[in-house]
Amino acid sequence: MATKVDYYEVLEVTRTASQAELKTAYRKMAMRFHPDRNAGDAEAEHKFKQVNEAYDVLKDEQKRAAYDRYGHAAFDGSMGGGGGFGGFGAGGFEDIFDMFGDMMGGGRRRTRQRSGNDVQTQLHISLTEAFSGVKKTVKFATRVTCESCSGRGSADPNKGSVQCPTCHGAGAVRAQQGFFLVERPCPTCHGTGNVISDPCKKCQGAGTTPTQRELEIDIPAGIEDGTRMRVTGEGEAGGPGAQAGDLYLHISVATHALFHREGANIHCRLPLRMAQAAMGAEIEVPVIDGSRAKVKIPAGSQAGDHFRLKGKGFSVLRSSSRGDMYLQLAVETPRHLTKRQRELLEAFEEEAGENQAQANPESTGFFSKVKEFFDGR
């Protein structure tokens, strides 16, 4: 198993760094190693994953405390419980700290406020919107602070919460299972350690009520299909005194009738009439930004030939640069010929005569090899 790098070293901060310093360091490192800026660089991709893993732990006070005390062993399952500290159930890190405290004869009481749940929703945009960036109004079901009690959970502003009679303020209850003492969130107070003495009739003491929200979101230019965006603090409101959850947007980019995107490049199939391919032509093609570009097709162009329009491709996320546009020729054979058209084509074939090898080298060469194949047998 590969040795994990210290999370503080990954973010290049000291162990006493504040949350603000951690956030600044994370943004700097994430931008530095972002895959969009390091296309094809496996080392940068690995660093980017390390940065996200480190910040995910250190931004959470409970996880950070566990990491500071036990290092990576706090999360890799090596401390027992079948899955690191997470193996001790919903109580998380605080639960196991309490258990260690009990074993050492100390123990401690603590209360936890329930953060609001995260909200996830799908957002559909067009390819041109993904290219230019767009403001979109998102509608989603969530929970907001109760207007009746202003989020207190109590009907009487002079009355607040009282110590939970079940867990006596500990926020958890314990039960003996064989040789182990298992701790779980208290079913009465849901881990907060307190209960509302006079619950609000509208929210039943939760401090939040269900509703439908609308939120305008800035979608950056260059975003890719399948991207998940996080909008901090726009999820469900938390209970009394707790912070709100986050809103996660799953971006779905629709296919386009003309363009196909591959990273920062755009591909477009360009059909040509047989005469255009044979004699050459100047074709005007559309560009994803709404402009037009003229392309000179040389005489004798073949089906499958590619033409590159530099800088006419897709926008790059958080950058002013653009990819390239590639045109692939598709030579169309005419159908439903008139009698006159057929006569002209027959005359064309006869006129080619001995020059057939020069006019059609690929087909001439192929049938020559076919003849050699059968003669050889």
Residues belonging to the binding site for Zn(2+) are 146, 149, 164, 167, 186, 189, 200, 203
Pairing assessment for the beta strands 228-231 and 208-219 based on DSSP bridges: unpaired
DSSP state of 278: H
Tell me which residue of 320, 307, 259, 329 sits closest to 287, measured CA to CA. Answer: 259
Asked if 235 and 142 count as a contact pair (C-beta separation under 8 A), the reply is yes
Task: State which amino acid sits at residue 143.
Answer: R
Tokens 């009907």 sit on residue: 155
User: Measured between alpha carbons, how far is 212 from 144 in angstroms, rounded to an integer?
Assistant: 9
Tokens 């990819």 sit on residue: 323
Continuous H helices in 15-91: 19-33, 42-58, 61-70
Sign, Cα dihedral of 229, 234, 238, 243: positive
Helix (H) or strand (E) holding 284: strand 281-286
The Cβ-side half-sphere exposure at 1, using a 13 Å CA radius, reads 6
Binding site: which residues?
146, 149, 164, 167, 186, 189, 200, 203
Asked if 164 and 189 count as a contact pair (C-beta separation under 8 A), the reply is yes
Q: 3-class SS at 208?
A: strand
**Crossing angle, helix 42-58 and helix 19-33, to 10 degrees?**
160
Residues 6+ apart with CB under 8 A from 174: 181, 182, 183, 184
Asked if 110 and 240 count as a contact pair (C-beta separation under 8 A), the reply is no
